[in-house]
């Protein structure tokens, strides 16, 4: 078994965001990988006007998924659920989807359809540059309030400006419709309210709830490891 982690919006260096859980999995003999998402500027091209968007993110994750035939669990966090919905579709090695405080889009849906039409207060949108990002001063209190101060400080150095294109580009597949799926509700999440997560989770095959903020793989990595091993 291997795990492919797909990180959320407005961050870079996915391997850092997942490294606590990945290390615990490796101790149990489970390897993992965290593909770079081009829309976050991780492929050498900056996000923004004329830059990469959702199709490039999907292609990057799909390339990793197709690289081997080992049984795979895809773990998608937040925006990563949009990417994984299309990237994991039709790949025989993918046996399960774990969605963490995430979105489960129907075919033709885009990220923007899960909001109320207005940017969240913790986001900074630059329409001229065509990018958006998390306001650094709101990062810890919104997304990492249950993490150690050291982790909070390190996380701030792994933020990224992302192409706003990804918010309006629809997915062309919905892997969760064909694959076993588990939704991990983060009950203390201040970024994606738990009531919305529970609504999204209705589309998943099973639901697990944890008393954690938006990044349980940083605040409670052992719980995430145990859940993955149980799958």
pLDDT of residue 216: 98
**CA-CA distance, 212 to 201, in Å (whole number)?**
16
Of the candidates 221, 207, 197, 202, the one whose C-alpha atom is nearest the C-alpha of residue 98 is 207
Contact 12, 41 (CB under 8 A): yes
Q: Which residues of the chain are under the pLDDT cut of 50?
A: none
pLDDT of residue 184: 98
**CA-CA distance, 211 to 110, in Å (whole number)?**
28
pTM of the model: 0.96
pLDDT of residue 49: 82
Q: Does domain 2-104+122-230 have CATH number 1.10.1270.20?
A: no
**CA-CA distance, 75 to 67, in Å (whole number)?**
17
Contacts of 64 (CB under 8 A, 6+ apart): 4, 33, 35
């Amino acid at each position: 078994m291997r795990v492919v982690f797909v990180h959320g919006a407005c961050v870079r260096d996915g391997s850092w965001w997942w490294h606590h859980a990945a290390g615990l999995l490796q101790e149990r003999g489970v390897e993992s990988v965290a593909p770079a998402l081009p829309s976050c500027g991780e492929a050498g091209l900056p996000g923004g006007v004329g830059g990469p968007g959702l199709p490039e993110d999907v292609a990057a994750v799909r390339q990793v998924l197709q690289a081997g035939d080992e049984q795979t669990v895809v773990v998608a966090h937040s925006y990563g659920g949009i990417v994984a919905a299309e990237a994991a579709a039709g790949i025989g090695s993918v046996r399960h989807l774990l969605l963490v405080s995430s979105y489960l889009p129907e075919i033709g849906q885009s990220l923007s359809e899960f909001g109320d039409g207005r940017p969240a207060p913790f986001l900074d949108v630059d329409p001229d540059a065509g990018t958006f990002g998390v306001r650094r001063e709101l990062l810890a209190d919104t997304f990492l309030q249950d993490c150690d101060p050291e982790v909070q400080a390190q996380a701030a150095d792994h933020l990224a400006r992302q192409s706003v294109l990804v918010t309006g580009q629809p997915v062309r597949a919905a892997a969760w419709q064909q694959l076993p799926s588990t939704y991990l509700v983060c009950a203390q999440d201040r970024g994606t309210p738990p009531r919305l997560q529970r609504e999204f989770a209705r589309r998943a095959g099973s639901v697990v709830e944890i008393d954690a903020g938006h990044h349980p793989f940083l605040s409670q990595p052992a719980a995430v490891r145990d859940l993955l091993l149980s799958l």
